[in-house]
Amino acid sequence: MDVQVRKGDTLWYYSQLFAIPLQLLIDSNPTVASKPLQIGETASIPGFLLNQHKINSGDTIWKIAKARSFLPDALFLVNPDIVPENLKIGSTIMVPERVVEPIVNARREYDYEAFLSDSKKLQNIYPFLYSRSIGNSVLGKDLIELKLGRGTKKIHVNGSFHANEWITTNVIMTFLNDYLLALTNMAPIKGIYVEPLYRETMLSMVPMVNPDGVNLVLNGPPEEEQFNKEVVRINNGNLDFKDWKANIRGVDLNNQFPAKWEIEKERKKPKEPAPRDYPGDAPLTEPEVIAIRDLTKEADFSRVLAFHTQGEEIYWGYEGFEPGISESIVNEFSRVSGYKAVRYVDSHAGYKDWFIQKWKRPGYTIELGEGVNPLPLSQFDEIYQESMGIFLAAMYM
């Protein structure tokens, strides 16, 4: 919600007027927060939308404000020309409405367009949530990073490396929405007040690493002529892409990182583009992987969490490069989720593997749910409840 600054207004005053933490207002107004507010400039109030209210018989500014737990000045701020003694029945005024319900509906097939739409809606309501493209997919789709928080502890979360594991995007976006709601409503998640986590942690999310693949699984072959027939050929003529894990070129993105990639190349059965498991002709050939690599190098993350499905396991070690703190963190992840902690598996070239090998910091591959990919949406609520504690513990520990 945007407002026009009046004489004497400050971000601190807005924080009191709307019961919003001051730091969220500062971060929502980065271009004006470093200096006194100027009369007439625009300031953003996170966690609110403006709606019209039709004046009814008996309405007063004070009555309308009280019904919404506001001070009357909140209405004067968004209706600068209002005359309280001259409210006409049937006329309309603007009224701030606190957002108290999530806008992300993740109990549906969640393709790239749905993800992009929800990302933009969240950023509009919560302008302290920063969004940027870190690169492009093979088909030119923006790979979106969503970022918030002030802390020196930098945590990265990603999902949908594998196309038919798209439910991981639903989980990440639902947690993000719940986190934003808790921050602006000063409410707890699982009994934990999250404002201290915001101050201590910078949270980076790339909820959909493989948008072309996700759309292929959910919507079928793309319109682009170069790939329309090629994906059907790679899929052995089958128009059902439910078993497709790769990107649109048939390369498995989580077999593309330079952590003993040569071993995976040698032993993987596909020696050419395939719906799954083909590691490419060399590491780091795919634009989606290059974007994640560049982001990781640039951001200097403290720890990373890669969400996959399925198996209800958490992989946390790689070749002995993992630091000692990794075990205490994964034990907490296991406690709050019920998932089994697994230190080593005979696998290489994954994002978690590369991160641990290169930075010797905690990295985790979290296999959500149990069954056959793609997991059914009927599992979503259970999976999300299991994962919430992992998100919180990742920031808290």
Catalytic amino acids? 367
Rounded distance, CA 210 to CA 137, Å?
A: 7
Q: Is 321 helix (H, G, I), strand (E, B) or coil?
A: coil
Site of tokens 């300031």? 43
Residue-wise over 128-151: b if at least 16 C-beta within 10 A, else e? bbebeebbbbbbebbbbbbbbbeb
DSSP bridge pairs for 192: 189
Neighbouring C-beta atoms of residue 340, cutoff 10 Å:
12
Rounded distance, CA 391 to CA 221, Å?
A: 34
The answer to whether 391 and 368 are in contact (CB under 8 A) is no
First CA to last CA across the chain, in angstroms?
34
Secondary-structure breakdown of the chain: helix, strand, coil percentages, each rounded to the nearest 5? 40, 15, 45
301 CB-near residues (< 8 Å, 6+ apart)? 154, 155, 156, 204, 355, 359, 361
Neighbouring C-beta atoms of residue 249, cutoff 10 Å:
23
Residue-wise over 201-211: b if at least 16 C-beta within 10 A, else e? bbbbbbbbbbb
The answer to whether 303 and 394 are in contact (CB under 8 A) is yes
**Residue among 128, 129, 131 nearest 43 (CA):** 128
The answer to whether 314 and 364 are in contact (CB under 8 A) is yes
Q: What does R_g of the chain's alpha carbons equal in angstroms?
A: 24
DSSP letters of 104-158?
A: ---SS---HHHHHHHHHHHHHH-TTSEEEEEEE-TT--EEEEEEE---SEEEEEE
